[in-house]
Amino acid sequence: MSKVTIVLLVILAVLIIASIALYFFGKKAEKKQAAQQEQLDAAAQAVSMLIIDKGKMRLRDAGFPQIVIDNTPKYLRRSKVPVVKAKVGPRVMTLMCDAQIFPLIPVKKEVKATVSGIYIMNVKGLRGHLETPQKKKGFFARLRGK
């Protein structure tokens, strides 16, 4: 056999082993995520709140309790997360939000949210529907529109 075919066979074997390993790690992560979602759903409660401010910032800068920062994996501590500052009853709280519903949350309006701990899972408008934000058009889409 030539050296080229040996190198290609080795690369093929490494790719097959890597894909099998990723398959099993993915299955394990999927089961773990399902268990966490069940826990979130079990602790969920509906709360009426006034949204004061929202933004994406790092966990350290958001003002979360130290235990939240300590329980976050080290590789995620530096990433930016969607954070909402809201008035829930008489208290002003800093809450973390799901990335899919973050654009739906209106600022300086009252909403009814499903909250599990400090995590906002769902948002509904208290007085009427929430407006879906307009996506920014790209450069070429704007040119095609003209």
* pLDDT at residue 25, rounded to an integer: 96
Q: What is the DSSP string of 49-98?
A: EEEEEEEEEEHHHHT--HHHHHHS-GGGTTSEEEEEEEEETTEEEEEEE-
User: Could you tell me which of 117, 107, 96, 106 has the C-alpha nearest to residue 45?
Assistant: 117
The model's pTM is 0.70
pLDDT of residue 90: 92
Give the dihedral sign, CA 9/13/16/22.
negative
At 40 the pLDDT is: 87
One pLDDT digit (tens) per residue for the chain, 146 residues: 799 999 999 999 999 999 999 999 999 999 999 999 899 888 889 999 999 999 999 888 888 888 988 888 888 888 899 999 999 989 999 999 988 899 889 889 899 999 998 899 989 887 777 776 677 777 887 788 77
Measured CA to CA, the distance from residue 125 to residue 48 in angstroms comes to 10
